[in-house]
Amino acid sequence: MKRISIIMAAAAFVFGAHPASADWLQWRGPGGLGVTTEKAPITWSAKDNIAWKHAMPGAGGSCPIIMGDRVFITCYSGYGVEKNAGDQKSLKRHLICVDRKSGKPMWTRDFPAPLPEPQYSGYQALHGYASNTPISDGKLIWIFLGRDGVYCYDLEGNQKWHKSVGNGTHGWGSGTSLVLHNDKVIVNASVESGSLIAFNKNTGEQVWASKTMRSSWNTPVLVKLANGSTELAVATNPIMYGFDPDTGNELWRATTYNWYVCPSLVANDGVVYGLQHSICVAVKAGGKGDVTDSNVLWKKNFGHVVSSPIYYKGHVYFCSQGTAYCVDAADGTALYKERLKGANGDFYASPIVADGKIYYVSRNHGAFVVEAGAKFKQLAHNTLTPDTSVFNATPSVSGSQLFLRSDRFLYCIGK
């Protein structure tokens, strides 16, 4: 037994100082729920508590994922980085592997965009052409590039497979991220083909597809039920769906919305919570057929257009145009609506919770740290002045460090 312990310790040393438990392998981290028990820095500035700052080769709104001593992120260049600048024929996406210790790129892979892409204007201009966060199982990495499809790479940058999910485009662009379930990688290709599609994660073979996605820009979430089963929930206009992630069969549906849906769902103890424009809703999963009348637990007339909610210890939190909300998850009662001190403008990044603290990232006016709980307590307002770039990406946490990207830079915060 002692010999096994020594071998395991040696392996941990060889493969990096940051254990697997500290990895942040997808959008919003473990389960896509945005909650970690790890600590993260509470205060920082452009000069203080910054491990490194890396100038990206292009813009983007995707989030960094972290595996051991590597950080993976996507961006785009050649067109749409500056307003009305560049030729769409030059548009490329990039997958970058960054050394976590130094912030320097280890390798980069480039992807010329299949044209035409939506014109860089309107809502497309607010987030650009690289808003889909990569996902990894610790051995492989998958990226979604809209109408360019899904790619699979190993950790050294070798392509394993590439599959199309449809050729559709939208003036608002593509923004959903991937989900892993057992041996499947699942993508909400609402823009590209109106589909929810599952591929074998190792071979790229299509396992199933469901033609039910409508006006949906959110990432599906896996929902654990008390009986040990798992469902896949996703929000569309006007329906929230529950699917069997192994077969793609529709399990239940609830009419909950009245317009397009950007915020992703979160789940806890078999209950799914969602936002949309002026709606905040809770739906009990595990039903069959139309559960609108039976499983919609509550529905309130407040919400947000872009960023997703977060569930933490009986409360649902979100931020809308600088106002932080805390909602009782049991009945939807708003426990507080408080203006974040120093906030101005809107929030596209989704909040996360680290060590009982909520992190809200503004597009242009810094990041705010709030104590989680039924009473509002703002702990910090951090800015990176003189950096004037735009922050659309949800932060990532690993090894007590916060990883934050803008349309120009990738920051590792916390020494």
Confidence of residue 84 (pLDDT cuts 50, 70, 90): low
Confidence of residue 3 (pLDDT cuts 50, 70, 90): very low
Confidence of residue 149 (pLDDT cuts 50, 70, 90): very high
Per-residue pLDDT, 385: 94
- Tens of pLDDT, residue by residue over 188-201, are 999 999 999 999 99
Give Cα 215 distance to the centre of its chain.
Answer: 18
Residue 224 has pLDDT above 50, yes or no: yes
Sheet strands side by side (includes 230-235): 221-224, 230-235, 239-243, 250-255, 289-290
User: Can you list the positions of beta strands (E) in 13-104?
Assistant: 35-36, 50-55, 65-67, 70-77, 92-99
**What average pLDDT does the chain have?**
93
CA atoms within 13 A on the CB side of 118: 23
Per-residue pLDDT, 345: 84
Domains parsed from the chain with CATH numbers: 21-413 (2.130.10.10)
Task: Give dist(CA 42, CA 367) in Å, integer.
Answer: 10
In the predicted model, what is the mean pLDDT of residues 28-49?
Answer: 96
Helices (H) and strands (E) in the chain, counts: 4, 34
Task: Give dist(CA 248, CA 234) in Å, integer.
Answer: 12
Residue 10 has pLDDT above 90, yes or no: no
Which residue's structure tokens are 């690289």? Answer: 130
- Tens of pLDDT, residue by residue over 268-306, are 999 999 999 999 999 999 999 999 999 999 999 999 999
